[in-house]
Amino acid sequence: MPLKPETQRHPVDMAVGARIRLTRKARGVSQQALAEAVGLTFQQIQKYERGANRVSASKLAEIAAFLQVPVSELFGTDAAASGLTDELADLLGAPGALELLKTYGRLPRAQQSALVGFLGTLPAAR
């Protein structure tokens, strides 16, 4: 079955998926490990994380318990009305983003500034 276009995905499903992905990555858990823990395939976890499939309430509770977070953290009931939390979850869920941010945080202040300056000169950053 082909993936639904992003315009047909519900924003809540996409936000929940992004939070699952972000939390899973922050905990250092693979999609396979999460899938096994909650009785799914890793492909189903991928679909949840992309917002292609909705996560049932019971499965969301199992995922939250395994990741040791409250369900509300994955659902985003305390999220800012601005959508900033969802935007950050999407950004940090991009491949390599969390690892990049962790490395950036370990750099001295001068190197952080130099890196930000360098990245600003790249054509894709404009």
Taking only the tens place, the pLDDT of each residue in 7-41 is 578 888 888 998 899 889 888 899 999 999 999 99
Q: What is the pLDDT of residue 81?
A: 43
Does residue 61 register a pLDDT over 80? yes
Percentage of the chain lying above the pLDDT 90 cut: 38
The pTM assigned to this predicted structure is: 0.66
HEC profile for the chain?
A: CCCCCHHHCCHHHHHHHHHHHHHHHHCCCCHHHHHHHHCCCHHHHHHHHHCCCCCCHHHHHHHHHHHCCCHHHHHCCCCCCCCHHHHHHHHHHCCCHHHHHHHHHHCCHHHHHHHHHHHHHCHHHC
Percentage of the chain lying above the pLDDT 70 cut: 83
